[in-house]
Amino acid sequence: MNRGKVIFVGAGPGAADLITVRGADVISRADIVIWASSLVHPGIVAGARPDALVVDSASAALEDTAAHYRRAADEGLLVARVHTGDPSIYGATGEQYEMCRQLGLDFETVPGVSAYSATAARMNSEITIPEVSQSLILTRLEGGRTPMPPRETVKGFAAHGATMALYLSAARNKQLQEELLAGGYPPETPCIVGYRVSWPDEMMLRCPLGELSATMRENKLWKHTVVLVGPALAEGHSGTRSHLYHPGFRHEYRAAEATAQTDLRANGAGAVRLEGETR
């Protein structure tokens, strides 16, 4: 017996061509497509079947979508539940998974491109630079309407000095800046601010941390904004280079060049010259 199925689809940050091939395929096959017009670009669901039921959940509570899930369970239908970005990041999917279990619905999740990675890509920035930052902390500012665990604070995370991606914090940008500074980031730490990344009205900005709040206020960025902060985001990192593509670094698929290997061991990747440039 076909019990019906819900597939949670990551729509990506906005642009219709940033959804995965798998996600687009699910939408094209679904009997019911549930999406939020407040967060998801309409081009994402434009490929739904002509006879599919397409439901805008922008003003709906979880209970409002339950009827569609029950119908899917009763009639053996496929539901595409479309979420902005990646469903696993602030997607409120946990309670929907539980509803599927209670209804006897099969379910799975198709990942999507998250706003933080789209923001870094749009600014041609690498989040993890060797010897600068090898970690990414993804979080939100505490103290808002949604409670945060007591040990998860922006100030506490900032003490690591790693790259941070901050969601759902734009409306309190002054407090955000203060907490990042209090945690130990210097005022000159580079920041990237992405508003509605990959949408037609996208705005991408760079600024030092000491000017983060002023920059966001000047541009009236209160929502749909992700902030990246950390030393790895600086434009240009002469002297830093990954070992992976270094000619002196041996791995399973490539032998090391003897001279380059000696140089790497003696001086590190930063001292090697390639094509006249110090890396």
Q: Is the pLDDT of residue 260 over 90?
A: no
> For residue 67, how far is the Cα from the chain centroid?
30
C-beta separation of 171 from 224 below 8 A:
no
Comparing CA positions, the residue from 12, 226, 217 lying closest to residue 139 is 226
pLDDT of residue 241: 67
Q: What residue segments make up the domains of the chain, in order of their start?
A: 5-110, 115-233
Residues sharing a CB contact under 8 Å with residue 114, sequence separation 6 or more, in sequence order: 10, 13, 85, 86, 89
| Element housing 103 (H / E) | helix 94-103
Comparing CA positions, the residue from 231, 223, 16 lying closest to residue 112 is 16
pLDDT of residue 75: 96
pLDDT of residue 278: 35
Residue 74 banded pLDDT, cuts 50, 70, 90: very high
Amino acid present at 268: G
Q: Is the pLDDT of residue 80 over 50?
A: yes
Residue 145 banded pLDDT, cuts 50, 70, 90: confident
The CA distance from 264 to 251, in Å, is: 14
Please identify, in words, the CATH class of the domain defined by 5-110: alpha beta
DSSP 17-63: GGS-HHHHHHHHH-SEEEE-TTTS-GGGSTTS-TTSEEEE-TT--HH
Q: Is the pLDDT of residue 130 over 90?
A: no
Q: Is the pLDDT of residue 272 over 70?
A: no
Count of residues for the chain? 279
Q: What is the dihedral of CA 180, 182, 184, 190, to 10 degrees?
A: 30
C-beta separation of 225 from 165 below 8 A:
no
Q: pTM for this structure?
A: 0.86
Tokens 């469903």 belong to residue: 87
pLDDT of residue 279: 31
In CATH, what number does 115-233 get? 3.30.950.10
Residue 68 vs residue 239, higher pLDDT: 68
C-beta separation of 186 from 224 below 8 A:
no
What's the mean pLDDT in 230-257? Answer: 76
Residue 253 banded pLDDT, cuts 50, 70, 90: confident
Residue 6 banded pLDDT, cuts 50, 70, 90: very high
The CA distance from 137 to 157, in Å, is: 7
What's the mean pLDDT in 130-153? Answer: 92
Amino acid present at 118: A
Residue 256 vs residue 221, higher pLDDT: 221
Q: Is the pLDDT of residue 84 over 80?
A: yes
Local structure of residue 256 (DSSP, 8 states): P
pLDDT-above-70 percentage for the chain: 90
Q: Is the pLDDT of residue 277 over 70?
A: no
The CA distance from 76 to 121, in Å, is: 40
The CA distance from 254 to 218, in Å, is: 51
What's the mean pLDDT in 201-227? Answer: 98
pLDDT of residue 78: 98
Q: Is the pLDDT of residue 256 over 80?
A: no
Residue 244 banded pLDDT, cuts 50, 70, 90: low
The CA distance from 59 to 81, in Å, is: 15
Tokens 């000047």 belong to residue: 218
What's the mean pLDDT in 204-215? Answer: 98
Per-residue pLDDT reduced to its tens digit, 148-181: 999 999 999 999 999 999 999 999 999 999 999 9
